[in-house]
Chains A and B, each alone.
Chain A
Amino acid sequence: MAAALLSFATTGKLSAQDGKTIYNKWCSGCHGETGAGDGVGAKTMLPHPRDFTKAVYKIRTTASGEIPTDDDLRRIVEVGMPGTAMPEWKSRLSAAEIGAVVQYLKTFSPNSFKGAAAKAIAIGKAPGGDGVADGKAVFQKLECYKCHGLAGRADGKSAPTLKDDYGNPIRPADLTENWKFRGGNSVSDIYTRLRTGLDGTPMPSFQDAVENKLITDEQLWRVAQYVHSLSPEKTPESREVVRAALAQKLPATPDDAAWATVERFWIPVVGQIIAKPRWFAPAVDGLWVQALHDGRSLALRVSWDDPSKSPDPIWDEWLGRMSKTLTDVDGPLATQQGPDRLVVQWAQNPSDESKRPYFLGGDTKSPVYAWRWSSEPKVEEGSEAGLGHFTALPNGSVTQSARYADGQWQVVFTRPLASSDTTKVPRFGEGRAIPIAFYAADGSSGEDEVRGAVSTWYAVYLDVPTPTRVFVAPIAMIALSAGLGMLLVTRAQKNGRANGATDSSPMEER
């Protein structure tokens, strides 16, 4: 590093040799010193790190099957690959350092890069007007749904059969979560991927479809616009507190239209990599949580993308491929698909912050109160003392109503606010935040009660009916200040008249 910086200081330019120094320090841990994508950290990552010796790159602006341009490589190093372990590097490495690394990457595959530099394909401009409906029709015509699913949630019929060029399982992009698109989520990014394809993966290029006049170039743009429209306008940000608004009547089913108007909160979940066995390839990456209460009961709707309603025999092949790829990390995967799972856990004693249980399912000293749901579907109510160590409580009062459609689970939990058991069940009191945490697992990917995705503590706040003092205090304040103002004015005017005239101004009046 020091040598690299020294040479930069003297020449202002970095060589591929400096690139090697930087690469070995920052990149080799995953991509390996020989560039074969087999660094010491590689095996816990899915997708695996890129193998530079093959010169097969997913994110390019060049035609399908061609090498990328230098700018393509530079861009990936600069901004990273969202949704994978590849981070952005522009906050750590200078432009010159990244340039040197790019030159060095190419030396891992000298034959591929020895000819003329690759040329980016010409990308026009997105056609104007609203093309989302047209785009949807072309999406169907090109059979994108076969992998990406009818609603774009990566649940197509072919999804369980997909593998990359190395035989590793690979998921189609979830088109409703475009913040994880590897090559960016703008309409022109998406269009570029459609034109170039993602080399090394089952995602083809649609250049041929345009050249053979199966579809027009404009129609391909429409597909990009349609895909773009499937995700929320803004990347969701997680907020600490989920608000349970007051409602007259609680919707009992997941597809009740009333849920559409309830504010939804994004809770990101990540692989459970704390307790044994750890899990580095979670199928679920976030939950949309909505809550309502009517003063007597609480209703919670949790929605999450899961490409399979587990167990499902068409996913056996996928599970086999997962077990083969993710070996050596804390023991073998299950050979049979389990159900899909969701655990909603609560702090047993929310009023005492100093006694909050461990976020990972509590522990023996301080268990959590949990709703354990599985896709049979059923829900059990109980206490958990460490992940998977669950004891059901008698007379559980939580009920569930679940729906699986188009690659998404929607589950509504309902339970009375009051409880006879005050030690193992929190008091669901209004006007305060009750700690809540989540655990989600997809049975078809080999996930179970410990291998899955987790969140740390969030909170649910139950709205209170607005108390009268909220209106009394401002009105009193208005009356008081207006009265004082009037008093001030009348006194000043009385004094003014008593003095005969106002003070003569030393300055010109406005």
Chain B
Amino acid sequence: MTRLRLFLRHPFWQAVLLLVVSYLAFTVGVRYVPPLFRVASAPVPGSVVLQYMFIAIVGILIFVSSDELRWRTFKQPLHATLVDQDKRWLRGGLLVAVPVLLGFATYQQARPKVEAPIQLRSIHPAPPGQITFRGKAMQLSGLENPLRKSGSMADHLREGKRVYYQNCIACHGDRLDGAGHYAHGFSPAPANFSDNGTIAQLTESYVFWRVAKGGPGLPREGTPWNSAMPVWENYLTEDEIWSVVMFLYDQAGWQPRRWEASPEERKNPTGAKQPAAPNAPKAGGAK
């Protein structure tokens, strides 16, 4: 017990312990602790761990050198390792082990690696202001789903369901999570509508554009060559697309983002204050 306490009071072993604890916190902690509190998490990339460790080492050095006595005590085992007669085996071991480790790390860096071509892909590329749908010009900005203002919503949703199950389900799946029975064959993976980072962040006109023009209609930053999303204007009418867009929001349980209120709506504010309405969705991946 006293031995352990002596260890823990020695600045050198404190520094080692801090180093180990911070490494574990960056690698294991960040990955596995938040999920215990139902917060999503992901592993920290190696390069970021390296940066964090650098900062941790600087912090630890400041701590051990902040006091003259502590600094001398800290250096003492290091110095002893370098000179003491009874530590000659440890010294010899380190003199071999450290260069070998560094040599191995250099080899890992230098050897040729099998690497995939780099692809930078924007998840939500900026939509054009206007598109041509089956030869008809269509203004996208400010455009709302016209079906929401006409006819029976139940009919629209039934129609949207038919369109979805006959055309979309193989990739986007029954659960709307992009895990349909063909999803494993395509990269990038089909969009996951149940995730709060896809349609929940978008206006219906944006979704209409993505459905109508598909992968080949993506701007360059969206890497159109890889997306398996078909050009649905070749298969579906305007109403069919609007109805399936409506079905997506209904089935996934999201509200579409709205355009800023039109001047007449602003004149007749209805009850509670609206949150600042988003503009056109921004380019760049949200995830």
Contacts and interface: CB of A to CB of B under 8 A. Distances in A.
Given A274-B230, A477-B102, A507-B76, A269 B95 contact: no
Contact of A29 (B96, B164, B185, B187): B164
A469 B106 CA distance: 11
Contacts of B83: 489, 492-493, 496, 502
A222 B79 CA distance: 68
Given A87-B181, A274-B230, A457-B187, A489 B82 contact: yes
Contact of B107 (A356, A470, A479): A470
Interface string B68-94: 010011001001101110000001001
Contacts of B169: 29-30, 41, 85
Given A435-B117, A506-B76, A41 B106 contact: no
B69 A506 contact: yes
Contacts of B139: none
A106 interface: no
Interface residues of A, number: 77
Across chains A and B, which 3 residue pairs bring their CB atoms closest together, nearest first?
A41-B165, A270-B185, A478-B103
A238 B184 contact: yes
A148 to B, nearest CB: 23
A452 B194 CA distance: 30
A301 interface: no
Interface string A275-286: 110001000000
A87 B185 contact: no
Interface in B234-280: 234-235, 251
A491 B112 CA distance: 39
B175 A493 contact: no
Given A241-B115, A470-B110, A502-B83, 15 more contacts: A43-B166, A85-B174, A87-B175, A89-B174, A91-B177, A241-B116, A270-B182, A271-B170, A274-B230, A280-B170, A354-B220, A435-B117, A453-B185, A454-B185, A470-B111
Contacts of A466: 111-112
Interface in A213-259: 238, 240-241, 243
B186 interface: yes
Interface stretch (B124-132, B140-148, B201-209, B221-229): B221-229
A456 B111 contact: no
A46 B260 CA distance: 46
B106 A474 contact: yes
Given A470-B111, A492-B82, A506-B76, A459 B116 contact: yes
B115 A433 contact: yes
A80 to B, nearest CB: 9
A44 B95 contact: no
A87 B179 contact: yes
B99 A459 contact: no
Contacts of A360: 228
A482 interface: yes
Interface of B: 6, 9-10, 69, 72-73, 76, 79-80, 82-84, 91, 94-96, 98-100, 102-107, 109-112, 114-119, 161-162, 164-166, 169-171, 173-175, 177, 179-182, 184-187, 215-216, 220, 223-226, 228, 230, 234-235, 251
A117 interface: no
Interface in A107-122: none
Contacts of A363: 216
22 contacts: A29-B165, A268-B184, A269-B185, A270-B170, A270-B182, A273-B171, A273-B182, A357-B225, A359-B228, A366-B225, A457-B187, A463-B114, A466-B111, A473-B106, A482-B99, A485-B95, A488-B82, A493-B82, A496-B83, A503-B79, A506-B73, A508-B6
Contacts of B106: 473-474, 477
A358 B226 CA distance: 6
Nearest to A457: B226
A473 to B, nearest CB: 5
Given A474-B104, A486-B95, A488-B82, A461 B115 contact: yes
A394 interface: no
A481 interface: yes
Interface string A354-377: 101111100100100000000000
B185 A456 contact: yes
Which of A268, A459, A482 has its CB near the most chain B CB atoms (within 10 A)? A482
A360 to B, nearest CB: 8
